[in-house]
Amino acid sequence: MSVTGSVLICDDDAAIRTVVTQALRRAGHRVTAAASLTDLKREMRAGLPDVVVTDVILPDGNGLDLVATLTGENPDLPVIVLSAQNTLATAVRATEAGAFDYLPKPFDLDALTTTVASALSRGRRLVDDVAASEDHAVALIGRSPAMQEVYRVIARVVSNELTVLITGESGTGKELVAQAIHDLGPRRRAPFVALNMAAIPRELIEAELFGHEKGAFTGAAARVAGKFEQASGGTLFLDEIGDMPMEAQTRLLRVLQSGEFTTVGGARAIRADVRIVAATNKDLMSQVMAGAFREDLFYRLNVVPIALPALRERRQDIRLLARHFLDRAVEDGLPRKAIGDEAIAALEAHDWPGNVRELENLMRRMAALHRDEWIDADAVRRMLGESAASQPTARDEGIEAAVIARLQRIAIEEPKVLEDGTLYDRIIGEVERPLIEAMLARHGQNQLRAARALGINRNTLRKRLDTLGIDVGGRQDDLP
């Protein structure tokens, strides 16, 4: 049986008051409505409700200010905050004030009903106050439902010491999330130290993490503190954790279990006073199943998961992001540019394989290279085309990710292929077939032209067509 109780709803929008009142009454609650802070305070004097639901912007004040007062005077009173100011700062300020939960507008009535029931069941707020300043500049931007969920998780996790694992494609802003967790939490006055596992040679990762003693290995002329010591008291951000070699995974797991580490070549145990935030663009569970990542370490890291959406999954944020990046370009000394609705639509139609990072780079190039003050749709499409043609690195990363993903699927679905000596030919064939087919299609099935484009001779191409069983439609002419 669901828990019911008395709910006081405060919102200056009569339609919202009516809809919320009806929904909560259908759920069995007793509901009183107020249109202002003055009305809410009057209702509170008449009788303390079991739950308060309040908007932030009200005709006679800010609802967040009231939340702090209400929770200060009534610590067990759950207050649920509604807001159309859908930013991370609002979510964090709501938790700072002691709100039980925060729901961005437009909100789902079922979600509100569930949250009210949860508040009645638990009897007090979910999170404690966090010591972040109200005017802290947060770099995360977006009002889409997907980003609102990210904000809510961040707001709940900043005040505790739980390990966080951030997942998402490259360019989605994983380091920004890690930085926000640090900057808004109690460790914000201590260092934030980041280490990208993919950027460090495998043989040096342990020394980078834990430091080394003088003479620990060839070239170790002096003792060097590792990232754990450098981040003492603060946050250690382990980016691209999926690229950590197995031996380093074992040592990291030992640190997470014991809270201590030793330097390379050292014998004295050192306390690890850091909060760990890790991130990856890989599917760690697939890596666990493939034997490339320790299962016990995965569960140690995945205490609080935060999944960042790809930009194509939150296209409604593109307008905000594009204008933000243009404004920031001006701060960096680039010319001011304005962008219209048709240009925004062109941006929204793009798939953004490089995600927010790709959009930021595009806006900076627009600010620097576009001659007119006004950015139109043609300029966007032209710049996107030039960008795609001039970024082989982004394509290479995409190919690498595809190969890794294919290897992971083979390891799970056909593990014998990894041992029977056919893996190389299997993968080369899978990559070679679409490449040859694409070149043939590009050159109208003309084998000579396709061979020239591929950089091989015609006979070699014909042999590969036979080996791969590629049908060229019976064409025999190879005229240049």
Give yes or no for residue 187 having a pLDDT over 60.
yes
Question: Where do the domains of the chain lie?
Answer: 6-134, 160-307, 311-384, 401-468
242 vs 476, residue with greater confidence: 242
Q: What pLDDT, on a 0 to 100 scale, did the predictor assign at position 400?
A: 63
Q: Is the peptide bond before 106 cis (omega within 30 degrees of 0)?
A: yes
Which tokens in the block code for residue 379? 């300029």
Element containing residue 122 per DSSP (H, E)? helix 109-122
Which tokens in the block code for residue 104? 């961005």
**Please, which contacts does 60-63 make with residues 24 or more away whose CB atoms are closer than 8 Å?**
60/36, 61/37, 63/10, 63/37
Under DSSP, the state recorded for 277 is E
Separation CA 152–CA 308 (nearest Å): 12
Report the range out of 143-152, 194-203, 337-346 with the highest average pLDDT. 337-346
Average pLDDT over residues 284-305: 93
**β partners of residue 375:** 339
Q: What pLDDT, on a 0 to 100 scale, did the predictor assign at position 149?
A: 85
Give yes or no for residue 174 having a pLDDT over 50.
yes
Contact 366, 326 (CB under 8 A): yes
Q: Which CATH architecture has domain 6-134?
A: 3-Layer(aba) Sandwich (3.40)
Alpha helices in 158-226 (DSSP H): 174-183, 205-210
Domains 6-134 and 160-307 share a fold: yes
Query: What is the three-class DSSP state of 304?
Result: strand
Q: What pLDDT, on a 0 to 100 scale, did the predictor assign at position 254?
A: 93
Residue 288 identity (one-letter amino acid): V
Annotate 6-43 with DSSP letters as a single string: EEEEE-S-HHHHHHHHHHHHHTT-EEEEESSHHHHHHH
Separation CA 170–CA 149 (nearest Å): 19
Q: What are phi and psi of 371, to 5 degrees?
A: -75, -35
The proportion of the chain whose per-residue pLDDT surpasses 70, expressed as a percent, equals 86
- 160-307: CATH number: 3.40.50.300
Which tokens in the block code for residue 328? 């920031």
What pTM was estimated for this model as a whole?
Answer: 0.60
CB atoms within 10 A of CB 469: 7
Give yes or no for residue 132 having a pLDDT over 60.
no
Q: What pLDDT, on a 0 to 100 scale, did the predictor assign at position 129?
A: 32
- 311-384: CATH number: 1.10.8.60
Give yes or no for residue 136 having a pLDDT over 50.
no
Report the range out of 22-26, 62-66, 100-104 with the highest average pLDDT. 22-26
In Å, what is the CA distance from 58 to each residue of 51, 55, 82, 86?
18, 7, 11, 16
Average pLDDT over residues 390-417: 57
Report the range out of 124-133, 408-417, 464-473 with the highest average pLDDT. 464-473
Which tokens in the block code for residue 131? 């010591």
Which tens digit of pLDDT belongs to each residue from 39-90? 988 888 877 788 999 888 888 888 888 787 877 777 778 888 887 776 777 7
Fold classified for 401-468:
Arc Repressor Mutant, subunit A (1.10.10)
Q: What pLDDT, on a 0 to 100 scale, did the predictor assign at position 408?
A: 57
Separation CA 47–CA 79 (nearest Å): 15
For residue 243, which of 370, 134, 401 has the smallest C-alpha distance? Answer: 401
Average pLDDT over residues 92-110: 80
Which tens digit of pLDDT belongs to each residue from 418-457? 667 777 777 777 778 778 887 887 777 888 888 888 888 8
Which tens digit of pLDDT belongs to each residue from 377-403? 999 998 888 766 555 444 445 566 666
User: Beta strand pairing status for 275-280 and 338-339?
Assistant: unpaired
Give yes or no for residue 162 having a pLDDT over 60.
yes
Give yes or no for residue 305 having a pLDDT over 70.
yes
